[in-house]
Amino acid sequence: MERTIPIDPILEKGYNVRLLVDDFDGLIEKWSSWSEEFRANVDSSLNCQYGIGEKDKLDIFRCGEPNAPLFIFIHGGYWQRGDKSVYSFVAESFVNSGIDVALIGYQLCPGATMTNIVEKIREAIIWIWNNADDYSISKHRINVSGHSAGGHITGMVLATDWREISKDLPEDIIKTGIPISGLYQLDPIRETTIADALGLDDEESLALSPHFFEPKTQAPILVTLGGGETPEFHWQTDNFVNKWKNFKVPLDYFAEPEVDHFGVVERLANKDSEIFHKVKEWLV
């Protein structure tokens, strides 16, 4: 799609956060190695095919305890980069604390639209609900989280009426929602180069902005980010919290002290961190 909206240099700096990292490729390489080592030493089911797309796959990591909570994590990458395999390391602290984990992969833009991506994550959650028993995980303790673009998708999941998709699904399929460093209003993104691969028009931008919806669940929601993130990410989170706290859903806010957009992911993988303990206490 040809750009019709000018680039705003302030928004570009605030949202294009990988440019603020001295060695972003090195960071991803570190996470990939960490994840590979973790996968080699855990009870897992890898690349479970939940849809027909090449990347419609998810990984399940089991803690070995019956009826454990299930923590679903949706990776970031501005809907156009990243792979679930890079983020396996996030599961380590949870698995070692008696919590099962599922990491969902998805088709990326521009090969898929953002609408497609949200639909795919819903499809993956339904697949988990239908197949949980076969993989020795609990369908009744599904908690959904995600970082950055994954935080956005988590917001969209919380605004999903599952009964509209299928009468066979429970309204409370999601027990807890934990968006991390999410993007809840998409129009500002359209004023950055990030949007070049997304193809967002006015209609889709509004239809995919969780801020303007309401939760279709009574599940508790913990909205989090890194305390050292850019003003733009604090703006996204603060406005979302202020809007959604008006609904009759338990909602809390937490900022992991000092860390930036990527540091908060590493803190989540640290069993001694504040955010890990906060999230663990929140799981149902």
Q: What is the pLDDT of residues 14-30, one digit of tens each?
A: 999 998 899 999 999 99
> In the 8-state DSSP scheme, what is residue 217?
S
Residue 195 falls inside a structural domain: yes
pLDDT at 2: 67
Residue 275 falls inside a structural domain: yes
pTM: 0.97
The alpha carbon of 190 is separated from its chain's Cα centroid by a whole number of angstroms, namely 20
pLDDT above 60: residue 35: yes
Residue 258 falls inside a structural domain: yes
- pLDDT bucket at 191, cuts 50 / 70 / 90: very high
Using CA atoms, how far apart are residues 70 and 252, in angstroms rounded to an integer? Answer: 20
Residue 158 falls inside a structural domain: yes
Amino acid sitting at position 131: N
State the residue range of the domain holding 58: 9-282
pLDDT above 70: residue 1: no
pLDDT at 100: 98
Residue 4 falls inside a structural domain: no
- pLDDT bucket at 4, cuts 50 / 70 / 90: confident
> Which CATH number belongs to the domain containing residue 275 in this structure?
3.40.50.1820
The closest alpha carbon to 120, from 213, 202, 57, 212, belongs to 57
Whose tokens are 């955010």? That residue is 275
CA atoms within 13 A on the CB side of 161: 5
Is the preceding omega at residue 215 within 30 degrees of 0, hence cis? no
Q: What is the pLDDT of residues 86-139, one digit of tens each?
A: 999 999 999 999 999 999 999 999 999 999 999 999 999 999 999 999 999 999
pLDDT above 90: residue 3: no
Residue 1 falls inside a structural domain: no
Number of domains in the chain: 1
Tokens coding 88:
């396996």
